[in-house]
Structure 1
Amino acid sequence: MIVECGACGTKYRFDETLLRPEGVRVRCSRCGFTWTLYPEEREIAVKPGRRLRTTLLIILLCLLALFGVLNREKVLWLAREALQRFPLVKEEVRLLGLVGYRMSIAGGEVFVIEGKVQNLSERTLKEVRLEARLLDPEGRVRARAEGVSGKYLPYDKIREMDLEVLKAFLESSPADASLLPGQQVPFTILFLSPPKGVRKFQVEVVSRG
């Protein structure tokens, strides 16, 4: 690097490797003037391409955050689906043979979800509690209902009942909700007077003991 004496203007070539952050005292051999020489501050230039990528990344993160706020239910559903497909821990229970259908009975309509719960663990489970959701064509949750292992009504029985009898069924508890290791137990979840336009349903395990 080239340095210049502040007193007489004489210029010298100086080895930059001798510089230290706290500065180095130097002396002009011509006039005897001394001063402290500091390392030059170099501005690190940001390449336009990198700046553009950073800006696009910030915009993308903002859009993802906005999507999450506006579509909270859908984001939660996607997260639940991902956890079900790629569980972080060993799965203890499994849902089998899920079937959902709408049917007319005396006094109104019901939406019925049937299936089985299988105990995959090596211990006896006292019960498995479930939550079912009805979705409209856009994937929005329109109704929720709860179920439990062992609480089951076959199709033929439901067809013979009216809404009042089914309400009593919903308020009752199963005679035995427990599952032995490897055992499969049926369940039925009912939506009384379900909303119009629902076509899809979801069922997930909310607790097991």
Structure 2
Amino acid sequence: MLVSCELCGTKYRVDPKRLHKDKVKARCSRCGHTFVVRRPEEPEPDDFDPSLMAEEETRPSEHEDEEQHDADAAIPVTRPAPQVLRPFTPRERSASKRGILFAVLTIVLLAVAAATYYLYSKGLILQEKDKVEPSAVTSTGMPQVTIDPDIRAYFLENMSAGQIFVVEGKAVNESGGPVSFVLVEGKLYTTEKQPAQIQKAYCGNIMSREELMRLDMTQIQNVMMNREGKDLSNVHIPSMGKVPFMIVFYNLPELSLLSDYSVEVTNALAEK
């Protein structure tokens, strides 16, 4: 006859003749669960003696070891196939393509920024602007603050928002005096060179990768919009001084539609 483990469903073939009682305890050799095996009902023989049954019921469990041996020696017929569970990640199939795309974009942007910085340092660009505005103040009256070409960008998985895109860098105060409250703006562009997403952040607000993955986006947004920066790092930045920034993009569009990103300074306050 066939019996099944109640816990894991493993089936065993057991010889009813080896069962010495109407029901015995058996242990599953696969999961260790103990279950009851009942002897199939059979018609009583003509010479059935009720006194023998009573004696059998009141006799101590002298067959306990043998019953355990019967269960352990049972031959498994079928076992459920083990299943390996893994979390579903909708973007997993194109993760490698996204990584390659943004790695190439980052390298290109860094190369362009490095070339621009080199040309500027050699006086080959912005010469006319420097002559017109020797005080390093833009036409809008904002002090001259630029983006250092050493920029990093990477993806992270946030616990509440899913995938986020982080851009890190430094702003450089190229004006003649101290400045405060430097605000930067990052943009993601589509393959058609149109802005797909815009995000602003004040300089001086840097978060660890653990915080970026753990905090919800409201908390991250509040950190980015701290005007003075962490420990007042965005206040009284000296001439040629640098202050770090971090821009976090979330609710990302389909990455196959994106081709580039940029960062620029949109506001700064000159101190008198």
- Normalising by the smaller structure, the TM-score range is 0.5 to 0.7
Shift of 1:193: 1.6
What is the DSSP-based 3-state SS (H/G/I as helix, E as strand, rest coil) of the residue aligned with 1:126? strand
Query: Partners of 1:181 and 1:163 in 2: how far apart?
Result: 33
Does residue 143 (structure 1) correspond to residue 143 (structure 2)? The answer is no
Query: Partners of 1:145 and 1:205 in 2: how far apart?
Result: 12
Q: 1:189 to 1:115 in 2, by over 3 A?
A: same
Shift of 1:189: 1.0
Does residue 196 (structure 1) correspond to residue 254 (structure 2)? The answer is yes
1:182 partner amino acid: M
Query: Partners of 1:89 and 1:129 in 2: how far apart?
Result: 22
Relative to total residues, which structure has the larger strand share, 1 or 2? 1
Structure 1 residue runs without a partner (length 5+): 1-80
2:185 partner amino acid: E
- Check whether the contact 2:188–2:195 (CA below 8 A) recurs between aligned residues: yes
1:166 corresponds to which residue?
220
2:156 corresponds to which residue?
103
Query: Partners of 1:170 and 1:127 in 2: how far apart?
Result: 12
Structure 2 residue runs without a partner (length 5+): 1-112, 131-135, 137-143
1:114 corresponds to which residue?
168
2:129 partner amino acid: V
1:89 partner amino acid: K
Percent of residue pairs identical: 20
Query: Partners of 1:206 and 1:167 in 2: how far apart?
Result: 18
Alignment RMSD: 2.6
Aligned 1:56-135 pairs, distance under 5 A: 86-87=125-126, 88-90=128-130, 92-96=144-148, 97-107=150-160, 108-135=162-189
1:185 corresponds to which residue?
243
What is the DSSP-based 3-state SS (H/G/I as helix, E as strand, rest coil) of the residue aligned with 1:89? helix
Shift of 1:204: 1.0
Greater RCO between the two (CA within 8 Å, min separation 6)?
A: 1
- Check whether the contact 1:93–1:119 (CA below 8 A) recurs between aligned residues: yes
TM-score, structure 2 normalization: 0.42
Shift of 1:94: 2.4
- Check whether the contact 2:202–2:226 (CA below 8 A) recurs between aligned residues: no
Report how many residues are paired: 128
Shift of 1:116: 0.4
Q: 1:145 to 1:151 in 2, by over 3 A?
A: same
- Check whether the contact 1:106–1:163 (CA below 8 A) recurs between aligned residues: no
